[in-house]
Amino acid sequence: VIISVRSPLSKIPGPWYATLTTMHLRWGFATGNVWKMAEAAHKQYGPIVRLGPRQVWVADKECMKQILVSIDLPKVAMYAEISRDRHNPDNANHYGTEIDLMEDLHKVALDIMGECSFGKSFGQINPDKKAEVGVEDHIWKSIPRAIFAGLAKRYQNVYLKRLFRTLGINIEFDWPVQMITAIDHIVQRRRVNSEDSRPDLLQHMITEGKNPADDTRMSTRQIVDQMSEVLLAGTETTSGTIACLFLEVVRNPDVKAKLLASLPILKPDDPIITSKEIRNTEQYKYLNACIQENLRLHPIASEMGRRTGNEWVSLGGHEFPPHTVVSASYRALHRNSKYWPQPLRFWPERWLEGDDRDGAPEPELVLPSLTSSMNAYFPFSAGKHSCIGINFAWAEMRMVAANFLTRFDLEEVIGQDVDFRQFITMQFKTGSWKVTVKPRAEIIQDFPSWLALTEAAGSL
């Protein structure tokens, strides 16, 4: 306790108990509420706060750049801990129908990842879709669930695992045998039979994947690990982010009216609009601004842990001793009124130029010395650990949002408690968010066209 109170970190503001214990942080991480602790602490104590004896949260723009890019602090051990290998780190066919949009978006994201990484969707949207050749249907369709269940188990038990390790008991995690067998089967078939190959991520790992240490080819087991991590990193993130976009759109009627008016009106079976078209066509600029603004208000990675390693690090006028956890608070930075006037307002116009800004303050006027206040923005992080899926994520967000909103208007079902939990990424706490949808075109057709969308995404 004396060491902790006398620590060089003692000058950093924070609650009194931060010097004494990490129990509250452990509880926050295990229950998914750590983001609420960080948010409240930043509000009370400022951009640099101490929440544990050696745990500091940072929401200052310049410090963030240092953490992520110039000093490039290593990641905290939590990420390795939740890796398998610790050491190697229907219901909506009619007008005005209620759907669980969060659940549907999650299924869409999984099937898009299935199409793009394995060349086959996981049958989440359309259960009649056949599984991979040679793999039993129910096993193939259970793969995403097995991956998520595995992650949740590992995340919630990180501290328990460490405790057992100090007692000399090593608890190792592994994927379900059936899942490994299924993926192994596909890898073996593709290795033997070149006609089975297709330009997807799995094929890339089979033909190009090498171990950096000795240049040997990746084993099937390593491929399974990597594919699982990409599937995890690429589904919760996009589905949660798109759900937040729809949430902001329905909760801001002026934005919704302007956005829907800016988009063409399509029938459900009309051709899918591609992400390239959305990116390059003037008509979609307000939609692009809405996506950008949503990434500001709802960075799916609320915070990301780094650590000082074996060296002292100087940040924001403080000296951080070795082995200090430094959490980059993206969410607090993105909601800081110093950079973002009316930070809690969903204001897509801030991302537009000239007259299109429609009264949104110019960044320069926000902070006279800094034309780049809009750079206080790290939804995909920065530096060498930044998101490898950024372009994929943008393509998916554009396609899903544009193809949905050109076809359907939506309203939130009232009386729902929308809260978030943070298990690495922010998630809708209940995993559910219901809306009613009605077709925008004067024609009643089947909904949803999610299937056409996932297939189109897979062929991009």
Site residues (vs ligand HEM, CB under 6 A) = 75, 230, 233-234, 237-238, 241, 300-301, 304, 379-381, 385-389, 392-393
Output 42 or 398, the one with its CB closest to ligand HEM: 398
Measured in degrees and rounded to the nearest 5, phi and psi for residue 347 equal -130, 80
Dihedral sign computed on CA atoms, order 290, 43, 372, 376? negative
Output 19 or 235, the one with its CB closest to ligand HEM: 235
Show Cβ contacts of residue 190 under 8 Å, excluding neighbours closer than 6 positions. 196, 197, 202, 203, 206
In the chain, DSSP finds a helix count (H) and a strand count (E) of 19, 11
Q: How far apart are CA 190 and CA 184, in angstroms?
A: 10
Q: Please identify which residue in the block is written with the tokens 């976009």.
A: 245
Least distance (Å) between residue 215 CB and ligand HEM: 20
Q: Which two tokens stand for residue 230?
A: 């990409």
Question: For residue 170, how many other CB atoms are within 10 A of its CB?
Answer: 9
Output 119 or 379, the one with its CB closest to ligand HEM: 379
Show Cβ contacts of residue 41 under 8 Å, excluding neighbours closer than 6 positions. 14, 15, 49, 51, 57
Least distance (Å) between residue 65 CB and ligand HEM: 13
Show Cβ contacts of residue 322 under 8 Å, excluding neighbours closer than 6 positions. 308, 309, 310, 311, 312
Least distance (Å) between residue 381 CB and ligand HEM: 4
Least distance (Å) between residue 450 CB and ligand HEM: 17
Cβ–Cβ < 8 Å for 316, 9: no
Output 9 or 105, the one with its CB closest to ligand HEM: 105
Output 190 or 334, the one with its CB closest to ligand HEM: 334
Compute CA distances 49 → 19, 58, 89, whole Å: 12, 7, 28
Output 142 or 226, the one with its CB closest to ligand HEM: 226
Cβ–Cβ < 8 Å for 329, 38: yes
387 assigned ligand-binding residue: yes
Least distance (Å) between residue 284 CB and ligand HEM: 17
Give the residue nearest to ligand HEM (CB): 389
Least distance (Å) between residue 60 CB and ligand HEM: 16
Helix H or strand E segment including 66: none
Least distance (Å) between residue 444 CB and ligand HEM: 32
Output 377 or 447, the one with its CB closest to ligand HEM: 377
User: Residues at the annotated binding site for heme?
Assistant: 387
User: Residues at the annotated binding site?
Assistant: 387
